[in-house]
Amino acid sequence: MPIRPILSSLRRHKLIVTLLALLVAFTCAIVCNVAFMIRQHVADMGVPSGVAESQLVMIESVNLKPGVNHIAQHRVDLAALRAIPGVTSAAAVDALPFNGNNWSTTASITPNGQNVAQLSVFNGTPGELQTLGLKLVAGRDFRADEYVPKHATANNGGLQHVPAVIVTRALAERLFPGKQALGRLIYPYSNGVRIVGIVNGLLQPGGGNGPDNNFSALFSMLPDGMSVTYVLRTSPHDRAQVLQLARKALLKVDPDRVLLHPQTFTQLRARHFSRTRTMIDLLLAAAFGLLFVAALGITGLANFWVQQRTRSIGIRRAVGATRGDILHYFQTENFLIVTGGVVLGVILAVGLNLLLMQHYEVPRLPLWYLVVGAVALWVLGQLAVLAPALRASHVPPVVAVRSA
């Protein structure tokens, strides 16, 4: 298809060509950036928690009676929970990834030294590691004699004499870069706590997608506050039933307690990301809306052009052009205009990204988004022009002599 005659024809319709190119350019710029934002949100939502998510259910229990020995109560409760058919293990914990129950403290690697990291403190009864499904990459689980009470009502004083800690790999690397962390002491206070194990990863209770969000540490401390979360591990299809039975079992042990937030880990994660989910839905709707409206404009203009040039099409057909020639003419014309728009759109997209980077926390737009955006608009343009171009190709040659 010779391009020169198409170009000279376009030059006579500068206004409409400019409009179309602008339409394509704006759409391209916005869609590229929106696609990138969607990708980032999807990445946020996919952040691994480190625990066996599909097998966990949890329920919060609050004991309001004064003077209760909470640690003893947990032991009784856990015995009842482990007796539930389908439960493979159970633990009483305070913090969990996404549950927002974040107790963070700073730690140094020498007594009273410079703080090296801010870490999230996780505590739980023996068996927490196994229940959560955390994978030890080095070292061991806590020994029974290492557990101390957390002393929740005495300012969490347990942290001042806890002997052992299991840290995540990310935290170990921050505390002792390039060195063996296992067996070393860390100092949340003036007392040293020995690293007895290293787990692959455990996301902080607040979530997050950064490397710092894996600075988590399990201490050999037993929760002893009035509120505790029981985590049960079971097979994925038993979760709903186990949750119901757990509720009954706990109320049977002590009917006066308050049970809160019975949920699967999957639900906990979904709740944590409900806002991100909203954002993704909104962005998707905006992107499709944009493409739809842009297609509307392109189709409308192509229709108009076909109608305006009906007689010229007839003449071309009369002097020997085939239907295919006419079809290709409109398709090539559309391709040229969209290409012009895409070039401008790519520049706009990069500019928009730079602007967003300046004002919001947005990373640089990877180049291949521009390529995908350009291809998407080419396809969109071709789809939008197809119907009008087909109609043009069906203009009979006799039109040339009819109205002249």
Partner 1 sequence: MFGYYLELALRSLKRNRVITALMVLAIGLGIGASMTMITVLHVMSGDPLPGLSSQLYVPMLNVWSSSGHGGNTPDGFTWPDVQNLLRAHRADAQAAMAEGVAAVHPTQPGVGVFFAVGQFTTAEFFSMFDVPFRAGHGWTAQQDQARARVVVLNSRLDHKLFGNRTGIGQTVQLGDAAFRVIGVLDDWNLQPDFYRQKGNHLYGQRDQLFLPLQTALALHMPMNGHFSCWGDGAESRTSNQCTWVQFWVRLDNPVKALAYGHFLDNYWQQQKAHGRFQNAGHPPHLYGLMSWLAHEHIIPDTLAMQMWLAIGFLIVCMLSVVALLLAKFLRRSGEISVRRAMGAKRRDIFMQFGIESALIGTAGGLLGLMLAQLGLWSIRQRPEGYAQLAQMDVMMLVGTVVLAIVASVLAGLLPAWRACQVPPALQLKTL
Interacting residue ranges for partner 1, rule: CB under 8 A: 15-16, 19-20, 22-23, 26-27, 29-30, 34, 37, 62, 64, 66, 102-106, 112, 114-118, 153, 155-157, 159-160, 189-190, 226-227, 258, 271, 274-275, 278-279, 282-283, 286, 289-290, 293-294, 296-298, 300-301, 303-305, 307-308, 356, 359-361
Cα–Cα distance, 13 to 321 (Å, whole number): 23
**Residue 197: strand, helix, or coil:** strand
| CA 154, chain centre distance (Å) | 38
Nearer to partner 1, 300 or 324 (CB): 300
Contact 339, 20 (CB under 8 A): no
Measured at the CA of 26, the angle between CA 20 and CA 30, to 5 degrees, comes to 150
Q: Mention every residue, 6+ apart, whose C-beta is less than 8 A from residue 43.
A: 209
Nearer to partner 1, 72 or 260 (CB): 260
> Cα-flanking dihedrals φ and ψ of residue 56, to 5°?
-105, 140
In the complex, the smallest distance separating the C-beta of residue 76 from partner 1, rounded to whole angstroms, is: 21
Cα–Cα distance, 399 to 166 (Å, whole number): 85
Nearer to partner 1, 136 or 356 (CB): 356
Nearer to partner 1, 66 or 178 (CB): 66
In the complex, the smallest distance separating the C-beta of residue 303 from partner 1, rounded to whole angstroms, is: 7
Nearer to partner 1, 194 or 271 (CB): 271
Beta bridge partners of 108: 115, 187
In the complex, the smallest distance separating the C-beta of residue 22 from partner 1, rounded to whole angstroms, is: 6
Nearer to partner 1, 25 or 81 (CB): 25
Nearer to partner 1, 132 or 346 (CB): 346
In the complex, the smallest distance separating the C-beta of residue 106 from partner 1, rounded to whole angstroms, is: 5
3, 215, 370 from 32: Cα distances, Å? 29, 34, 6
In the complex, the smallest distance separating the C-beta of residue 167 from partner 1, rounded to whole angstroms, is: 16
| Cα diameter, the chain | 104
Token pair 């020169």 is at which residue?
4
Token pair, residue 51, equals 């625990």
* 244: number of Cβ within 10 Å: 13
Helix axes 239-253, 70-82, angle to 10 degrees: 140
In the complex, the smallest distance separating the C-beta of residue 146 from partner 1, rounded to whole angstroms, is: 20
In the complex, the smallest distance separating the C-beta of residue 153 from partner 1, rounded to whole angstroms, is: 6
In the complex, the smallest distance separating the C-beta of residue 150 from partner 1, rounded to whole angstroms, is: 10
Overall size of the chain counted in residues: 404
Q: Mention every residue, 6+ apart, whose C-beta is less than 8 A from residue 304.
A: none
95, 117, 119, 209, 234 from 104: Cα distances, Å? 11, 10, 5, 17, 30
Q: Mention every residue, 6+ apart, whose C-beta is less than 8 A from residue 183.
A: 139, 194, 195, 196
Nearer to partner 1, 214 or 234 (CB): 214
Nearer to partner 1, 102 or 339 (CB): 102
Contact 342, 25 (CB under 8 A): yes
In the complex, the smallest distance separating the C-beta of residue 121 from partner 1, rounded to whole angstroms, is: 10
